[in-house]
Structure 1
Amino acid sequence: MKWRQSTFSLPLVIGLLCAVGLFSALLGDGWWDSLAWLGLGVPALLGSWPLLRRTRD
């Protein structure tokens, strides 16, 4: 069962970050907005990371 924990750990963290970001965006202003930017920006950056890398020809 160890392979299953390692397979789903990163998607679980990304999903929790998205949920925290969306929930904090609904709650209010001020530092909630900062938490929303962080919670939604990190998964977006992780998803676009392979697109940003340079290929070596």
Structure 2
Amino acid sequence: MKKTTNRTGLAIWGWPMILGVLTSVGLVAGLFSDGGAGDVAAGICLALPVVVGIWFGWCRPGPKSSR
């Protein structure tokens, strides 16, 4: 029998909300900055969700079998 766990909404949606906020900050910083630290902040904020997507989409090892 499979054990079910009760997870709160924050446990499920916490990281997607953080990535959404980072993306929004990156887009706003890229829109309003004119060189310097604003462009660096925009690049970092927009690169982090891409890196997380690549990690969980392609690079992360699959689940181990329980045999």
1:40 maps to 2:46 = yes
1:27 maps to 2:32 = yes
Q: Distance in 1 between matches of 2:11 and 2:61?
A: 27
Deviations 1:19-38 (A, max 9, x none): 00000001122110000011
TM-align CA RMSD: 2.0
Q: Distance in 2 between matches of 1:37 and 1:24?
A: 9
Of structures 1 and 2, the one scoring higher in RCO (CA 8 A, sep 6+) is 1
Q: Which runs of 5+ in 2 are unaligned?
A: 1-5, 63-67
Q: Which runs of 5+ in 1 are unaligned?
A: none
**TM-score normalised by L of structure 2:** 0.71
Q: 1:6 to 1:53 in 2, by over 3 A?
A: closer
**TM-score normalised by L of structure 1:** 0.83
Q: 1:2 to 1:22 in 2, by over 3 A?
A: same
Write out the 4+ residue segments of structure 1 that deviate beyond 3 Å after TM superposition: none
Q: Which has the larger radius of gyration?
A: 2
Structure 1 or 2: larger helix share? 1
